[in-house]
Structure 1
Amino acid sequence: MIIAQEQELQENISEDVIFPPGDLYSDEPPVETELHLRQIIILLQCLEWLWKDRNDFYATGNMTIYYSPNQKKSEYFRGPDFFVVLGTERKTRKSWVVWDEDGKYPNVIVEILSPSTANTDRDFKKELYQDTFRTPDYFWFDPYTLEFAGFHLLDGKYQPLEANEKGHLWSQQLELYSNPK
């Protein structure tokens, strides 16, 4: 009797369950905290305001980049907190698929550090963005400690950026200074 009731309950539940569509936009998990979301929004809004008359770039946050040499979305994907691709059409996308975008990888990536991601952002992702993506400018920022670091790709290796007298770091790709303080 109990088994029959449980089976009937499961059948009723399956009718009420709403399944997500198969054409999902991105495989990225939600942002870590509200502060992370705010940092991504600030970066995006500032760049879009500064470049409001430009249509030759794509900037977004917390979106998956698919980069499999086998052109499979099920392997080799990563989702930076914020990235910019230059020399491309400024249009809405569901994800960044390298093989559908003429092989283009981001020109600039910014990772927002958190206790759970900081080591990965400083080590694994830095190496991935240097060696695989070949992203010219890579930055990370910790919104809690205000740790801010930047790197520029030179001869295949990231070189740390030196802050100017005001503490700003220069992005050669964006031709802009940044300073979170």
Structure 2
Amino acid sequence: METYLHLTQIILLLKSLQWLWQDRKDYFAAGNLTIYYSPNQKKSENFRGPDFFVVLGTKWNQKRKSWVVWEEEGKYPNVIIEILSYSTAATDRGEKKQIYQDTFRTPDYFCFDPYTLEFEGFTLISGKYQPIETNEQGCLWSEQLQLYLGIYQDKLRYFTSEGELVPSPEEAASKAENKAIQAENRLIQERQQKELALQENEQLKAKLRELGINPDEM
């Protein structure tokens, strides 16, 4: 872990995905968790700690303290996201990228710099990483997640295939609360309008009676 920006970015990626997939139990997502992948099944060798990764088609178990490949049916991450910094950028774009391509065979790999907002993604084609092209909004498609990734308010965020921002749980709760308040305000306004209409109607009837006209017979 490098800085507060790194921490908040990782938490945002994790919580937003958990909110979106709250009904799914067939994946595992984690931040800054060690992956052990030694062919000799030794935790003292061959390990990496991606900033954020997602494994699909696995058992839901948030109590994992690490990801041990030989204990997880040989599964490696389907998606890895590295949050770059001055001290890690070269490794993330070089040595780690090579490992994720050749050993992990991770289909989707993304790098994001929270300071410069540089963002790039790669997808595995015929065993080699190829750059993912941006769409018109500057987002990159993750075939594994079936989501776009793009920058919104200086943060790396998920977007649906329709381009809608995937909210964090806090954003979703705030939006729901605002909708409830708006609905309540509409009801209050409608009630006030009905009361005003009744008052105006009674006033009109009163004037008609003053003129000797029975409004009930009209």
Match of 2:105 in 1: 134
Q: What percentage of aligned pairs have identical amino acids?
A: 72
Instruction: Name the SS of the counterpart of 1:180 in structure 2.
Output: strand
In structure 1, the partner of 2:164 is none
Q: Of 33, 46, 52, which residue of structure 1 is paired with 2:3?
A: 33
Out of 136, 141, 144, the residue aligned to residue 170 of structure 1 is 141
Higher helix share: 2
Matched, 1:90 2:64: no
CA distance in 1, matches of 2:138, 2:17: 20
- SS at the partner of 1:132? helix
Q: TM-score, normalised by structure 1?
A: 0.83
- Distance in 2 (alpha carbons) for counterparts of 1:126 and 1:75: 18
Look up the equivalent residue of 1:161 and give its one-letter code: I
Offset of 1:180 from its aligned partner?
A: 1.8
Is 1:67 matched up with 2:37? yes
Structure 1, unpaired ranges of 5+: 1-30
Letter in 2 for 1:75: E
| Bigger Rg, which one | 2
* Separation in 2, partners of 1:89, 1:41: 21
Q: CA deviation at 1:81?
A: 0.1
Q: Displacement of 1:78 after TM fit?
A: 0.3
For residues 119-158 of structure 1, what are the structure 2 equivalents within 5 Å? 119-158=90-129
- The residue identity in structure 2 corresponding to 1:73 is K
| Per-residue CA distance 1:35-85 (angstroms, 9 max, x = gap) | 000010010011101101000000000010000000000000000000000
In structure 1, the residue corresponding to 2:151 is in which secondary structure? coil
In 1, the alpha carbon distance for the partners of 2:112 and 2:89 equals: 9
d(CA) in 1 for partners of 2:84, 2:139: 19
Runs of 4+ in structure 1 over 3 Å off: none
For structure 2, the residue ranges without an aligned partner over 5 or more in a row are: 153-218
Alignment root-mean-square deviation, CA: 0.5
Partner of 2:14: 44
